Amino acid sequence: MIKKQIRNKIQMNAYQEVSGSVMSVYSGDFGNLEVKGNIQFAIDYVDSLKELHVFVAQCKDLAAADIKKQRSDPYVKTYLLPDKGKMGKKKTLVVKKTLNPVYNEILRYKVEKQILKTQKLNVSVWHRDTFKRNSFLGEVELDLETWDWENKQNKQLKWYPLKRKTAPVALEAENRGEMKLALQYVPEPIPGKKLPTTGEVHIWVKECLDLPLLRGNHLNSFVKCTILPDTSRKSRQKTRAVGKTTNPVFNHTMVYDGFRPEDLTEACVELTVWDHYKLTNQFLGGLRIGFGTGKSYGTEVDWMDSTSEEVALWEKMVNSPNTWIEATLPLRMLLIAKISK
Q: What is the mean pLDDT of residues 233-260?
A: 91
- The enclosing H or E element of 80 equals strand 74-81
Residue 63 has what pLDDT?
92
Contacts of 232 (CB under 8 A, 6+ apart): 2, 5, 11, 14, 339, 340, 341
Poorest-pLDDT segment among 50-64, 184-198, 258-272: 184-198
DSSP calls for 268-323: EEEEEEEEEETTEEEEEEEEEES---SEETTEE-TT----HHHHHHHHHHHHSTTS
Which residues lie across from 42 on neighbouring strands? 55
Write out pLDDT tens, residues 56-99: 999 999 999 888 889 999 999 998 886 533 456 789 999 999 99
333 and 172 in contact (C-beta within 8 Å)? Answer: yes
- The enclosing H or E element of 78 equals strand 74-81
Residue 5 has what pLDDT?
43
pLDDT band for position 233 (50/70/90)? confident
Write out pLDDT tens, residues 134-163: 788 999 999 998 899 999 899 999 999 999
pLDDT band for position 44 (50/70/90)? very high
Residue 271 has what pLDDT?
95
Write out pLDDT tens, residues 287-329: 999 998 888 888 888 888 888 899 999 999 999 999 999 999 9
pLDDT band for position 248 (50/70/90)? very high
Residue 192 has what pLDDT?
57
Mean pLDDT of the chain: 81
Q: Which residue has the higher pLDDT, 118 or 56?
A: 56
d(CA 290, CA 307): 9
105-109, 167-171, 302-306: range with highest mean pLDDT: 105-109
Q: Strands across the sheet with 178-186, in order? A: 249-259, 199-209, 178-186, 325-330
| Claim: this prediction has a pTM higher than 0.75 | no
Using alpha carbons, list the distances in angstroms from residue 130 to 27, 69, 97, 134. 17, 15, 12, 10
pLDDT band for position 190 (50/70/90)? low
Write out pLDDT tens, residues 193-222: 555 578 899 999 999 998 987 766 678 999
d(CA 106, CA 83): 21
d(CA 21, CA 236): 18
Does the pLDDT value for residue 9 go beyond 60?
no
Q: Which residue has the higher pLDDT, 34 or 203?
A: 203
Radius of gyration of the chain (CA): 22
Poorest-pLDDT segment among 113-122, 189-198, 276-285, 286-295: 189-198
Residue 193 has what pLDDT?
56
